[in-house]
Structure 1
Amino acid sequence: MSYRFGEKSGILSALLLILLLSLPSMALAGHGDSKPVKKGIMLAAFGSSMPETKVAFESIEKAVKKAFPGVPVRWSYSSSIIRRILDKEGRVVDSPATAMAKMMDEGFTHVAVQSLHTIPGEEYFGIADTVKGFEGMPKGMKKVTVGKPLLYSDGDMRRTVAAVIANIPKDRKSSDAVVLMGHGTHHGANIYYPASQYYFAQVDPKIFVGTVEGSPTLDDVKKQLKASRTRKVYLMPYMSVAGDHARNDMAGAEPDSWKSELTKAGYTCVPVLKGTAEFPEVVDIWVDHLKVAFDHLGE
């Protein structure tokens, strides 16, 4: 069979066009387009340098590994100050960005990040923005999701109230007050603290919420205590761990600690040095948020 020159050049042009069009897909196929799915979990906490808080973080990790058997779990602390302190002690914990970069290098394609913060404040959104930046970058991860912090919905608030009340020392009498110390923030999410006060009051009118760096303040709590006519106060951290704030600002011997201030005001104070992450019912809320984030990873 013979072809005229024009026919031959047309066939060659068509073949050349097909070849050129196939080059991009051939190149992608050789650069990880068929990369196997590898799912992982990253737990992101503010962090603590105090050895006493280790039990809280261990309880969270144990619960997560039980809920997600076989899924690799990594940790990160968002506080650079705490990371530096730990580094000097030879205990290295990565920042959220470093932890994600390492997971990317390990070949993770889908990562669910769970915030271990109490409210959706500046720390939470900072972490969320950081980890989402790894989604879709060249040679990066295909999907990154972020689990909600402890307090986010009406259901979260009610479950947290029930969990905290269930873990108040059993020897507390109905006439005794309970003061919860939250961190507080200048971020708009501080509204979760006065909201918590509302939710607690619906169940137990002698539970009061205050904050170290936001509102309500200790002065607000003092007014409520005076009106309650109680003489004994249980002091509990409304934070994931009983770290520096709980051990010093709340229960410390310094004249300006909450314990000292309330003792001077005539109250008998009983500090309870357990963070909310030591309460199984609270950890369950974080795990449930993680389940939602993990489900949203897809395939």
Structure 2
Amino acid sequence: MQCRFGDKIKFIPALLLVCCLLIPSLAMAGHGEAKPVKKGILLAAFGSSMPQAQASFDAIDAAVKKTFPGVPVYWSFSSAIIRDVLAKEGRIVDSPAMAMTKMMDAGFTHVAVQSLHTIPGEEYSGILETVKAFEGMPKGMSKVTVGKPLLYTNDDMLRTVDAIVANIPKDRKAKDAVVLMGHGTPHAANIYYPASQNYFSKVDPKIFVGTVEGSPSLDDVKVLLKNSKSKKVYLMPYMSVAGDHARNDMAGDEDDSWKSELTKEGYKCVPVLKGTAEFPQVVEIWVDHLKVAFKHLGDH
């Protein structure tokens, strides 16, 4: 049959239309059907090499699993130093990147990552950058969200202050001081520590906040203690776990520990070796942040 030139012109658009319709089908045939939605949770803590700190992690793990029944929960430590120490002891804990890789390989499409840090400092920023890289990666996750650390909003500050005050030992008298040891950081988020002092002062004028590696320092706390006229001091970690800093830098017997320094100045010191994650009211704040992150995962 003879085909005229005009027929060819009409045929070409029709051929292009057929090709356009076939291409998605071919792509689907090459890559298979879209993955079914599979949601998971990754908890990202700074970590601790102290066995006693496990109580804090267990409390968080139990609260998260109770709130999200049936949702797989993975763990990671953001501190490379802590992970190395644990590895030498034969205990392997994943970094956030490794945990995300394992979850990706396991077929998770939607992952809510909850920061278990106290402030939005270097560790939190690093987690944001790391886990977000998995979103949209070929064969990666469709959606990744990150829950805020303990202290982020004004409401977080108010709730945290109330939670810690509620967990001060009951035998503490009104005339006794309470000194909270935070970690401290060169990051701009260190501002949360002097801000915390302001919040605590409004609730109890004899609660003081210091840091190991930032500001306010122990020297700043000493000035406030002197003005308070208190003779007895309760030392408490302003950290999620009562780990190395709490047990050595705060409550240790070394000459430069906070307990030793304050004892030299005539104070009777009472260390309280419980991290904030051992307080249900504090864990509830992290869980509430995770609820928001999980909700934002959506279903697509």
TM over 0.5: yes
Q: Which consecutive unaligned segments of at least 5 residues does structure 1 have? A: none
Matched residue type, 1:9: K
SS at match of 2:235: strand
Q: Which residue of structure 2 aligns with residue 17 of structure 1?
A: 16
Normalised TM-score (structure 2): 0.96
Tell me, in whole angstroms, the C-alpha distance in 1 between the residues paired with 2:203 and 2:50: 33
Deviation at 1:22, TM superposition (A): 3.0
CA RMSD, aligned part only?
A: 1.4
Query: Deviations 1:48-91 (Å, cap 9, x if unpaired)?
Result: 11110111001001000011111110011111111111112221
Tell me, in whole angstroms, the C-alpha distance in 2 between the residues paired with 1:192 and 1:179: 16
SS at match of 2:224: helix
Q: Which residue of structure 2 aligns with residue 79 of structure 1?
A: 79
Query: Deviations 1:104-148 (Å, cap 9, x if unpaired)?
Result: 111110100000000000110110110001001111111000000
Tell me, in whole angstroms, the C-alpha distance in 2 between the residues paired with 1:48 and 1:114: 17
Tell me: CA distance 1:17–1:150, structure 2 relative to 1, closer, same or farther (3 Å). same
Matched residue type, 1:237: P
Tell me, in whole angstroms, the C-alpha distance in 2 between the residues paired with 1:28 and 1:266: 76
Q: Which residue of structure 1 aligns with residue 208 of structure 2?
A: 208
The farther-off stretch of 113-122 and 24-33 is 24-33
SS at match of 1:87: helix
Q: Which residue of structure 2 aligns with residue 294 of structure 1?
A: 294
Tell me, in whole angstroms, the C-alpha distance in 1 between the residues paired with 2:26 and 2:87: 43
Tell me: CA distance 1:66–1:255, structure 2 relative to 1, closer, same or farther (3 Å). same
Query: Deviations 1:122-175 (Å, cap 9, x if unpaired)?
Result: 110110110001001111111000000000000000000000001000100011
Tell me: CA distance 1:51–1:65, structure 2 relative to 1, closer, same or farther (3 Å). same
What pairs up with 1:56-135 in 2 under 5 angstroms?
Answer: 56-135=56-135
SS at match of 1:155: helix
Tell me, in whole angstroms, the C-alpha distance in 2 between the residues paired with 1:37 and 1:95: 24
SS at match of 1:125: helix
Tell me: CA distance 1:251–1:283, structure 2 relative to 1, closer, same or farther (3 Å). same
Tell me, in whole angstroms, the C-alpha distance in 1 between the residues paired with 2:47 and 2:23: 45
Deviation at 1:15, TM superposition (A): 4.4
Q: Which residue of structure 1 aligns with residue 268 of structure 2?
A: 268
Q: Which residue of structure 2 aligns with residue 150 of structure 1?
A: 150
Q: Which consecutive unaligned segments of at least 5 residues does structure 2 have? A: none
Tell me, in whole angstroms, the C-alpha distance in 2 between the residues paired with 1:33 and 1:251: 58
Matched residue type, 1:16: L
Tell me, in whole angstroms, the C-alpha distance in 2 between the residues paired with 1:282 and 1:143: 27
Normalised TM-score (structure 1): 0.96
The structure 1 segments of at least 4 consecutive aligned residues displaced by more than 4 Å after TM superposition are none
Matched residue type, 1:109: T
How many aligned positions are there?
298
Deviation at 1:19, TM superposition (A): 3.5
Matched residue type, 2:283: V
Tell me: CA distance 1:141–1:24, structure 2 relative to 1, closer, same or farther (3 Å). farther
Query: Deviations 1:237-289 (Å, cap 9, x if unpaired)?
Result: 00000000000000000000000000000000000000000000000000000
Deviation at 1:7, TM superposition (A): 6.0
SS at match of 1:75: strand
The farther-off stretch of 86-95 and 122-131 is 86-95
Q: Among the aligned pairs, what percent are the same residue? A: 72
SS at match of 1:227: helix
Q: Which residue of structure 1 aligns with residue 34 of structure 2?
A: 34
SS at match of 2:90: coil
Tell me, in whole angstroms, the C-alpha distance in 1 between the residues paired with 2:112 and 2:200: 31
SS at match of 1:52: helix
The farther-off stretch of 251-260 and 77-86 is 77-86
The farther-off stretch of 141-150 and 5-14 is 5-14
Deviation at 1:13, TM superposition (A): 2.8
Q: Which residue of structure 1 aligns with residue 256 of structure 2?
A: 256
What pairs up with 1:140-289 in 2 under 5 angstroms?
Answer: 140-289=140-289
Tell me: CA distance 1:200–1:16, structure 2 relative to 1, closer, same or farther (3 Å). same
Deviation at 1:26, TM superposition (A): 1.9
SS at match of 1:114: strand
